[in-house]
Amino acid sequence: MGISFKEKYGDWALITGATSGIGAEMASQIAAKGLNVVLVARREKELEEQATLLTERYGIKAMTVSADLSTSEGVEKVKQIDKSIGLLVLAAGIEVNGSFAKSSLEQELKMIQLNVTSVLQLTHHFTPAMIERKRGGILMVSSLSGHMVSPYFSNYAGTKAYVLQLGASLHGELKPKGIDVTVLSPGLTTTPMTADNGVDWSKLPMVAKDPAEVAEIAINGLGRKAVVVPGKRNRMTAILSGIISHQKQAIMGESMIGKAMPKNKM
């Protein structure tokens, strides 16, 4: 029999973005494997509901931290956690889309703070203790957009490309130290973020995947792969993005994505 998930990563996992979408599913599936969880998200009521659900269903301990990771105060709050975190799951993120010239600079900067800076800060904070223990796991959430040229999602794609490169590079750097690092790059997934972003996804050749399935693929891939892309079509898109020139991707992307964007965002 192989080593169990709990033996591999220890007693506590920390999950950001833990109350919705892929983050909530990963929190549930990690709790099902017997790990206690620190749930991090903004809304206190939803956090408490999620914690109660997981403790009752799986008999584990759950701690909640209400924090907005798009602020430095929120990141500092998470850094104060005194549990020995053996598995770090960074699923919190936001998306800004539409015409770059029309977008709110404040929102674009907020997205960089959440999608990029908080990921760097929390990874940097929790990694040294994992190195000392010679075991641990880090699961970052990028996006298929991070692999490809994405007009009308320009800054979002940039933030996710950062996570992709950071995580894949750390996969190589930290593996010899006993730490598993994997990047999840999901394509279109049925989450509140994609439901509320104003894009008419039916006009694009994409089929939304279920967040529970995406979470399961990510957890199963932890430590085995540097990057996990759920779905055959998504994997093919990621491969082609490394072959087709940036110029062609930009022209094709503008044409396709432009049809799905609402006119007030163009």
* Phi, psi values for residue 157, rounded to 5°: -60, -40
| Catalytically annotated residue among 152, 160, 162, 209 | 160
In DSSP notation, 53-95 reads HHHHHH---EEEEE--TTSHHHHHHHHT--S-EEEEEE-----
Is 24 strand, coil or helix? Answer: helix
Tell me how far apart the alpha carbons of residues 64 and 84 are, in angstroms, rounded to a whole number.
15
Respond yes or no: is residue 232 known to be catalytic.
no
The burial class, CB within 10 Å (0-12 / 13-18 / 19+), for 181 is buried
- The token duo for 262 is 């609402």
Q: Which of 58, 152, 156, 162 is catalytic?
A: 156
Neighbours of 202 (CB within 10 A): 7
- Strands (E) in 144-263, as ranges, are 179-184, 227-228
Residue whose tokens read 């972003």: 197
Q: Are 5 and 33 in contact (CB under 8 A)?
A: yes
What is the number of other CB atoms lying within 10 angstroms of the CB of residue 77? 16
Active site residue 83: no
Catalytic residue annotation: 156, 160
